[in-house]
């Protein structure tokens, strides 16, 4: 019987390829710079063949998965890594929200090396809700392509809570965190699990720096129900040949989401780690309904801004 191998959040360097975006003038020098002498590819020969730049250059990402937490960003990145022309950082760099003071050269040196015609990517879901992130990314390169994986904000909030609860079993109940008080039923927007789901508010901030054409909004629900279809849209957006298709997926009934079929030469299929697909706690129906009513106008505003109706209402 085949077993499943966890992908988790490992540090492997992946691979994306897309025609490289136009670079802003003040970034071009950095983008193509070979970096400090200690990081340059040695100009040596092997068996009489020159191997200078064999491993390419470290470049700023031309595409970033900027959000959202618990929307399906890890699944998207794992599906993308199947593509032979994709290269991505394994861990979330958190440069534009936590480590911006380290500087752009520090950030660039985190990136995998790429050859001409390959695309560098990273994902940090908290960028979408960080007020300073869009301006900082535009300072690096205003032509950056931005991918946002969104999911029904109520389901997303419960998933977010479930993840936190697994790390902190003493956490108060979902309803006590979501509601300011049970008698009024007012939603507490200061709780991050609720605030992240205000997609329209966050997108309005990003649209001050980037045109809508620079965004791709991926449905977290369709990424589960039709992974090949959503991946087709992602590959088109990135300018990639459609390599990732139905042949790469099978649906895992136990976990409740798609897994990658075993690669040739391997005896194991690849599924996301144990933390993915964990059961959600029971939340009172009236609390979930209050949340749905609360999110409804924000959802409709998000549909208008993004040009897509995700059907959450």
Question: Angle at Cα 311 formed by Cα 236 and Cα 196, nearest 5°?
Answer: 80
Cβ burial 72-96 (10 Å sphere, 16+ → b, else e): bbbbbbbbbbbbebbbbbbebbebb
Query: Is residue 277 annotated as involved in ligand binding?
Result: yes
Between CA 42 and CA 51 the distance in angstroms is 8
For residue 187, report the phi and psi dihedrals to the nearest 5 degrees. -80, 135
* Cα–Cα separations (whole angstroms), residue 19 to 55, 115, 232: 18, 12, 17
* Cα–Cα separations (whole angstroms), residue 268 to 1, 80, 98, 214, 273: 10, 19, 36, 37, 14
Q: Is 167 a catalytic residue?
A: no
Q: Which two tokens stand for residue 203?
A: 């997108």
CB 19 within 8 A of CB 239: yes
Query: Is residue 241 annotated as involved in ligand binding?
Result: no
Query: Is residue 70 annotated as involved in ligand binding?
Result: yes
Query: Is residue 74 annotated as involved in ligand binding?
Result: yes
Query: Is residue 159 annotated as involved in ligand binding?
Result: yes
From 46, 58, 69, 70, active-site residue = 70
Other Cβ atoms less than 10 A from the Cβ of 30: the count is 17
DSSP labels for 62-91? SEEEEE-TTTTHHHHHHHHTTSTTEEE-SS
Query: Is residue 71 annotated as involved in ligand binding?
Result: yes
Between CA 188 and CA 177 the distance in angstroms is 7
Query: Is residue 72 annotated as involved in ligand binding?
Result: yes
Beta-strand relationship, 113-114 and 57-58 = antiparallel
DSSP state of 268: -
Between CA 13 and CA 107 the distance in angstroms is 15
Query: Is residue 279 annotated as involved in ligand binding?
Result: yes
Between CA 120 and CA 242 the distance in angstroms is 18
Catalytic site positions: 70
Q: Which residues are annotated as a binding site for 3'-phosphoadenylyl sulfate?
A: 70-74, 151, 159, 276-280
Q: Which residues are annotated as a binding site?
A: 70-74, 151, 159, 276-280
């Amino acid at each position: 019987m085949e077993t499943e191998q966890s992908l988790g959040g490992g540090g492997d360097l992946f691979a994306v390829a897309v025609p490289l975006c136009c670079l802003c003038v003040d970034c071009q020098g950095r983008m193509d710079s070979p970096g400090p002498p200690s990081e340059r590819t040695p100009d040596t020969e092997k068996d009489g063949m020159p191997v200078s730049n064999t491993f390419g250059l470290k470049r700023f990402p031309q595409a970033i998965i900027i959000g959202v937490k618990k929307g399906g960003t890890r699944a998207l990145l794992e599906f993308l890594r199947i593509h032979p022309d994709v290269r991505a950082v394994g861990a979330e760099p958190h440069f534009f929200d936590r480590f911006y003071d380290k500087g752009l050269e520090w950030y660039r040196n985190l990136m995998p090396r790429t050859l001409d015609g390959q695309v560098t990517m990273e994902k940090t879901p908290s960028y979408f809700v960080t007020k300073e992130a869009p301006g900082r990314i535009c300072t690096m390169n205003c032509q950056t392509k931005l991918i946002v994986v969104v999911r029904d904000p109520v389901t997303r909030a419960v998933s977010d809570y479930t993840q936190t609860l697994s790390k902190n079993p003493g956490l108060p109940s979902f309803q006590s965190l979501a509601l300011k008080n049970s008698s009024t039923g007012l939603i507490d927007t200061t709780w991050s699990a609720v605030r992240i789901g205000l997609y329209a508010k966050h997108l309005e901030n990003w649209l001050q720096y980037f045109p809508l054409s620079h965004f791709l909004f991926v449905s977290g629900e369709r990424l589960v129900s039709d992974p090949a279809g959503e991946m087709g849209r992602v590959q088109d957006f990135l300018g990639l040949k459609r390599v990732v298709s139905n042949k790469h997926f099978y649906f895992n009934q136990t976990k409740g989401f798609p897994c990658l079929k075993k690669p040739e030469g391997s005896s194991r299929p690849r599924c996301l780690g144990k933390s993915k697909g964990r059961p959600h706690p029971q939340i009172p129906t009236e609390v979930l309904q209050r949340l749905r009513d609360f999110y409804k106008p924000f959802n409709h505003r998000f549909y208008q801004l993004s040009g897509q109706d995700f059907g959450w209402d």
